[in-house]
């Protein structure tokens, strides 16, 4: 028999969204239970400590200017930040050739001009998308009726500029630009302050890192919540009635006045609701697939690329690795290269033999940083599409037609069930900062209704 718990609010999911919601409710004097499927908190942030204490972030790891919520949380829980290593030249591999550069990429002037024009046009469209209601943008239907890929083909006229936009799509959305709506690309970019910020390191969304890893922020929140957080409790079912909800796991029945569901949309769809969700919500949840990313860490005794005056950061149009960062600890020991395999390439390599995948990734790093990259002392990877309790990263993608036909259902509570998660954020959608905003907003909905 399931153990029964009575509480004010049951939060489903102990990622940053769910934990932030719970914290806000507890601060307002509410009784809260947080149910988490995994044996850890953090969701899409996940930190491993190697034997020597080195911090590896398998999930979200950066923060940048304008991300006040995650910065405040890190400060509160005592998790110092430090700059992503960015001294020296970057590497660019395009059309089979490898360049090093600092400042503007070494593209021919026609490509640079084309890229600058397309980027300006894209950012101008983006800032006109209302963050709280993308479906109300001017010409929303036209923007939502095409894929991001269609826009790129029409607006970036040179092969080089198109490749940079495709790398932007993979690096920022973990997805091919064919997979989602132009309106979503614009909304998401606006929510993160523009193309350059989302793609950038210094002054950009990859500017800083957490000394104790990103998961420590979630753990700090969980510590404040204490035994209100119940791990290893996947939610199977939510019974919704006019005056209460009952949230069921295999062991627990949590009876609450309200629930907040703070898990990725495809997982929210897989909970059994009694009665079933109304059509608007259900059809929305059918249309929010997750991106695909395999995050790979190659660990070396030293950051040897720095000797050559390289930052360790690279951009390539050559699959499977399109984006690389230096992800070493502050003191540079050990040296760590972080390689992203994303979108279609992640899907192709996800089912491959682990050795084949490792060889492909290390081969790509060797092309970019020389043969020394081929022999790390340790190699770690995390395939987020294989994570049962996330099933893809970084975030859900809005397929064409979804924002305009289903957008209003995104944050609309269904009776006493409220919806959180970074996908429901109006700022920094897809980022840790957005996750926190979404949780606080969902908590506020409940507190306002109570008042």
Q: Please identify, among the stretches 75-83, 208-216, 252-260, 280-288, the one whose residues bind its own copies according to the rule CB under 8 A.
A: 280-288
Residues that contact its own copies, how many (by CB under 8 A): 48
Q: 177 vs 220, which CB is nearer to its own copies?
A: 177
Q: How far is the CB of 344 from its own copies (least distance, A)?
A: 5
Q: Please identify, among the stretches 8-16, 109-117, 273-281, 328-336, the one whose residues bind its own copies according to the rule CB under 8 A.
A: 273-281
**What is the C-alpha to C-alpha distance for residues 206 and 201, in angstroms, rounded to an integer?**
4
Q: 9 vs 409, which CB is nearer to its own copies?
A: 409
Tokens of 88: 């020296």
Residue 289 is a binding residue for its own copies (CB under 8 A) = yes
**What is the C-alpha to C-alpha distance for residues 112 and 107, in angstroms, rounded to an integer?**
6
Residue 155 is a binding residue for its own copies (CB under 8 A) = no
Tokens of 7: 């509480």
Q: How far is the CB of 276 from its own copies (least distance, A)?
A: 4
CA 168 to chain centre: 14
Residue 290 is a binding residue for its own copies (CB under 8 A) = yes
Q: Is the peptide bond between 275 and the residue preceding it cis, with omega within 30 degrees of 0?
A: yes
Determine whether 227 is exposed, middle or buried from the number of CB atoms within 10 Å of its CB (0-12, 13-18, 19+): exposed
Which DSSP category does 260 fall into? E
Q: Please identify, among the stretches 62-70, 127-135, 333-341, 403-411, the one whose residues bind its own copies according to the rule CB under 8 A.
A: 403-411
Q: Please identify, among the stretches 22-30, 47-55, 184-192, 402-410, the one whose residues bind its own copies according to the rule CB under 8 A.
A: 402-410
Q: How far is the CB of 175 from its own copies (least distance, A)?
A: 8
Site for its own copies in 306-335 (CB under 8 A): none
Q: Which of 78, 44, 91 is nearest to 305 (CA)?
A: 91
Tokens of 369: 């940083």
Find out whether 273 and 248 touch, Cβ atoms under 8 Å. no
Helices (runs of H) and strands (runs of E) counted in the chain: 15, 20
81 bridge partner residues? 210
Tokens of 80: 């110092």
Site for its own copies in 160-179 (CB under 8 A): 176-179
Residue 276 is a binding residue for its own copies (CB under 8 A) = yes
Sign of CA dihedral 341, 347, 411, 146: positive
**What is the C-alpha to C-alpha distance for residues 172 and 371, in angstroms, rounded to an integer?**
28
Helices (H), 226-278: 265-270
Helices (H), 135-260: 140-144, 148-155, 159-173, 182-191, 195-199, 215-225
Site for its own copies in 370-399 (CB under 8 A): 383, 385-386, 388, 391-392, 399
Residue 147 is a binding residue for its own copies (CB under 8 A) = yes
Of 90, 123, 149, 423, which one interacts with its own copies (CB under 8 A)? 149
Residue in the structure block whose two tokens are 């700059």: 83
Q: 98 vs 350, which CB is nearer to its own copies?
A: 350
Q: How far is the CB of 382 from its own copies (least distance, A)?
A: 12
Residue 65 is a binding residue for its own copies (CB under 8 A) = no
Q: Which of 43, 27, 46 is nearest to 35 (CA)?
A: 43
Residue 144 is a binding residue for its own copies (CB under 8 A) = yes
Residue 344 is a binding residue for its own copies (CB under 8 A) = yes
Q: Which residues contact 214 (CB under 8 A, 6 or more apart)?
A: 42, 45, 46, 47, 57, 59, 60, 61, 432
Of 66, 401, 413, 415, which one interacts with its own copies (CB under 8 A)? 401
Binding string, 6-45, against its own copies, x = CB under 8 A?
Answer: ----------------------------------------
Residues of this chain that bind its own copies (CB under 8 A): 141, 144-147, 149-150, 153, 176-180, 236, 266, 269-270, 272, 275-276, 278-280, 282-283, 286-290, 292, 343-344, 347, 350-351, 383, 385-386, 388, 391-392, 399-401, 404-406
């Amino acid at each position: 028999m399931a153990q029964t718990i009575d509480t004010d609010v049951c939060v489903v999911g102990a990622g940053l969204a769910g934990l932030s919601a719970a914290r806000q409710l507890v601060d307002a004097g509410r009784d809260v239970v947080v149910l988490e499927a995994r044996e850890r908190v953090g969701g899409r942030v996940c930190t491993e400590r190697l034997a020597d204490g080195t911090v590896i972030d398998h999930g979200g790891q950066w923060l940048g200017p304008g991300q006040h919520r995650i910065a405040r949380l890190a400060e509160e829980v005592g998790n110092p930040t430090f700059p992503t290593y960015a001294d020296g030249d970057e590497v660019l591999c395009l059309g089979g050739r490898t360049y090093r550069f600092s400042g503007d990429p070494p593209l021919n002037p026609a490509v640079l001009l084309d890229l600058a024009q397309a980027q300006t046009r894209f950012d101008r469209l983006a800032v006109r998308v209302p963050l709280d209601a993308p479906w109300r943008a001017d010409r929303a239907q036209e923007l939502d009726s095409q894929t991001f890929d269609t826009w790129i083909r029409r607006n970036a006229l040179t092969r080089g500029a198109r490749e940079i936009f495709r790398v932007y799509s993979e690096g920022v959305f973990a997805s091919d630009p064919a997979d989602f709506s132009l309106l979503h690309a614009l909304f998401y970019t606006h929510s993160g302050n523009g193309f350059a910020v989302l793609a950038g390191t210094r002054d950009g969304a990859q500017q800083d890192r957490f000394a104790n890893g990103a998961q420590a922020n979630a753990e700090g929140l969980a510590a404040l919540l204490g035994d209100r957080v119940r791990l290893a409790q996947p939610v199977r079912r939510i019974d919704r009635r006019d005056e209460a909800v009952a949230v069921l796991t295999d062991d627990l029945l949590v009876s609450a006045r309200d629930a907040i569901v703070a898990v990725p949309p495809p997982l929210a769809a897989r909970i059994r609701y009694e009665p079933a969700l109304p059509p608007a919500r259900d059809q929305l949840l059918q249309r929010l697939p997750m991106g695909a990313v395999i995050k790979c860490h190659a660990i070396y005794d030293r950051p040897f690329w720095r000797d050559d005056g390289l930052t360790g950061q690279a951009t390539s149009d050559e699959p499977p690795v399109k984006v690389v960062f230096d992800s070493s600890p502050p003191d540079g020991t050990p040296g760590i290269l972080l390689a992203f395999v994303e979108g279609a390439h992640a899907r192709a390599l996800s089912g491959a033999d682990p050795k084949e995948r490792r060889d492909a990734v290390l081969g790509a790093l060797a092309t970019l940083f020389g043969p020394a990259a081929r022999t790390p002392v340790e190699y770690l990877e995390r395939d987020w599409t294989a994570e049962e309790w996330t099933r893809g990263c970084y975030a859900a993608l809005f397929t064409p037609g979804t924002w305009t036909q289903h957008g209003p259902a995104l944050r609309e509570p269904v009776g006493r069930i409220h919806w959180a998660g970074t996908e429901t954020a109006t700022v920094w959608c897809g980022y840790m900062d957005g996750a926190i905003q979404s949780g606080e907003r969902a908590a506020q909905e409940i507190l306002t209704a109570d008042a």
